[in-house]
Structures are given as structure tokens and as C-alpha cells.
Amino acid sequence: MRAMEKTFAEHGLNRASFDVLATLRRSGPPYALSPGDLMASTMVTSGTMTYRIDELEEAGLVERVRNPDDGRGFLVSLSTRGLEVIEAAVTAHVETQAKLVVPLTAGQRKQLDELLRRFLSGFEKT
């Protein structure tokens, strides 16, 4: 976690802000989701999500835009700068993850993948 936090910090992010920006990026163009969809994807409360959105908006990484399907609501959208930051941060994050498993052999990495898959499948069933 320390290595990943360091990587995030190099891009002006923390784990929480990376999570929100990466979720928006994974949603595909136009890189926008409702706050409710973001809450469901990141599994945080509405108050926590509002705080994260406010912080990211203040940093110029996201924008609140009118929801074209619901005039009463809004979407959270990656700004141009936000897209640039998350693209660079994801690339660096993948590089960091690769460095973390360098000490393992190919067989050990495969075994780790299988163990993690089994471990995480237990959470998906609950």
C-alpha cells in the first residue's frame, strides 16, 4: 500500500481520489457517472462521495454537469485535466504493481493470481 500511495501522491492523488477518477475512466466516454453510480462502484456513503467529488472538483479534475436524461440531477465528469492525470496515474500504478511482484517467479505469480481469485470470489458471494 505504501508503494501505491507514493505512486498516487506523485500525481497529486490519494487512494480515494484515484478510485473515483479510475472509476470514471473505466466508464468510458464521456467519462461521466451519477453520484449514485459512483457510490455503488466505490462502496462509500453519500457524504463521503460528496466530499470526494467536492475535493476533485476544487482540484479541477472533475466537473458537475447536468444529466441529459434527468434534468433534476447531475453527472460527475472527468475534466480534460482529470483525464490526463488519471491516464498518467494508471500507467504509473500498473508499473508499481509490476515492480511489487518482481521477486516472484512466473509460477509463483500464477499461484498468487489463483489464490487471490479464490480469496476475492468469497467476497463476491456475500
Closest-CA residue to 90 (of 78, 103, 75, 105) = 78
CATH for 2-125 (3.40.50.1370, 1.10.1040.10, 1.10.10.10, 3.90.79.10): 1.10.10.10
Q: What pLDDT, on a 0 to 100 scale, did the predictor assign at position 125?
A: 62
Q: Which pTM value belongs to this model?
A: 0.83
Q: Which residues contact 64 (CB under 8 A, 6 or more apart)?
A: 53, 57, 74, 75, 76, 77
Would you state the pLDDT for residue 126?
53
**DSSP 8-class letter at 61:** S
CA distances from 85 to 96, 106, 112 (A): 16, 31, 30
Query: Can you give the residue ranges of every domain in the chain?
Result: 2-125
**Residue 124 pLDDT:** 64
**pLDDT in 10s for each residue of the chain, 126 residues:** 899 899 999 999 999 999 999 999 999 999 999 999 999 988 899 999 999 999 999 999 999 999 888 878 899 999 999 999 999 999 999 999 889 899 999 999 999 999 989 888 877 665
